[in-house]
């Protein structure tokens, strides 16, 4: 092609994924709006097309569709809120001749309570995510806590605290995802370069994941700001042993 564009046949992908090849409500709302599963099929089609194009040599690892589905940046509260919104739409024209009042079912758990408060307008997205993060931490669900925290970090890329919290939640996952946490810790320390807690945590993350040169640079910055910081002795001992 003139501009070497990659054309992706998403229609065929949707047909292949649909029962009997008929694209219905398993993948779409009416005929215009893909649902979660539909968007997953479309995204996977684009990903595979790019992976098999010339770009594949630059990709260190391939992410299969199931892994991508599990790691999708949708929190459970957002999914519930979306379900309520869709149900509300389906109770109005053109899905029914006369508009019907929609009320979500009585909440059975705190996540449903939060999602319904957001749906009703008593919480906004930020409030819902903060409440969801607190609930996930309280019950020790760091898989969901990390998903919420990463979503908030992406929403506020120029605020250090959301970046730091996302990194913290990632290292508390099972198994810990230290390498994935490093970019968040790094952004937090870049946005607030004099924050000792951010620098110390970043240095530790570098050490744990084997990035000794980066750990040395961060330790030097920490020493400039706080020569008596309690972590410095431990960092120096470890880094000296690596020279």
Give the residue extent of every domain in the chain. 1-72, 74-139, 142-243
CA-based Rg of the chain, rounded to a whole angstrom?
A: 23
Write out pLDDT tens, residues 122-141: 999 999 999 999 999 999 99
Average pLDDT on 102-108 reads: 96
230 close to 203: Cβ distance less than 8 angstroms: no
pTM: 0.86
CA–CA separation, 48 vs 44, rounded Å?
Answer: 6
* CATH entry 1.25.40.10 includes domain 142-243: yes
Residues in the chain: 243
Question: How many other CB atoms are there within 10 angstroms of residue 202's CB atom?
Answer: 30
Looking at residue 58, its pLDDT comes to: 66
| Nearest residue to 218 via CA among 234, 200, 239 | 200
Structure tokens at 11: 């229609």
Q: Contact, 27 vs 14, CB < 8 A?
A: yes
On average, the pLDDT of the chain sits at 92
Digit-coded pLDDT (tens) for 148-194: 999 999 999 999 999 999 999 999 998 999 999 999 999 999 999 99
- Residues in a beta bridge with 34: 28
Token readout for 70 is 């599990």
The answer to whether the bond into 62 is cis (omega within 30° of 0) is no
């Amino acid at each position: 092609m003139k501009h070497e564009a990659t054309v992706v046949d998403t229609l065929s992908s949707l047909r292949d994924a649909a029962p009997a090849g008929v694209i219905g409500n398993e993948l779409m709302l009416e005929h215009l709006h893909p649902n979660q599963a539909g968007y997953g099929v479309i995204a996977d089609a684009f990903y595979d097309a790019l992976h098999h194009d010339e770009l594949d040599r630059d990709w260190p690892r391939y992410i299969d569709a199931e892994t991508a589905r599990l790691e999708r940046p949708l929190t459970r509260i957002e999914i519930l809120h979306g379900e309520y919104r869709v149900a509300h739409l389906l109770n109005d024209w053109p899905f029914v001749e006369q508009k019907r009042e929609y009320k979500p079912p009585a909440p059975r758990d705190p996540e449903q309570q939060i999602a319904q408060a957001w749906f009703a307008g008593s919480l906004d997205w930020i409030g819902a995510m903060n409440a969801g993060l607190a609930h996930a931490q309280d019950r020790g669900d760091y898989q969901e806590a990390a998903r919420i925290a990463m979503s908030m970090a992406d929403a506020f890329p120029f605020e250090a605290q959301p970046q730091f919290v996302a990194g913290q939640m990632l290292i508390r996952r099972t198994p810990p995802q230290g390498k994935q946490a490093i970019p968040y810790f790094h952004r937090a320390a870049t946005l607030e370069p004099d924050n000792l807690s951010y620098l110390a945590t970043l240095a530790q993350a570098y050490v744990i994941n084997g990035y000794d040169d980066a750990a040395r640079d961060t330790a030097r910055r920490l020493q400039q700001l706080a020569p008596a910081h309690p972590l410095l002795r431990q960092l120096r001992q470890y880094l000296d042993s690596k020279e």
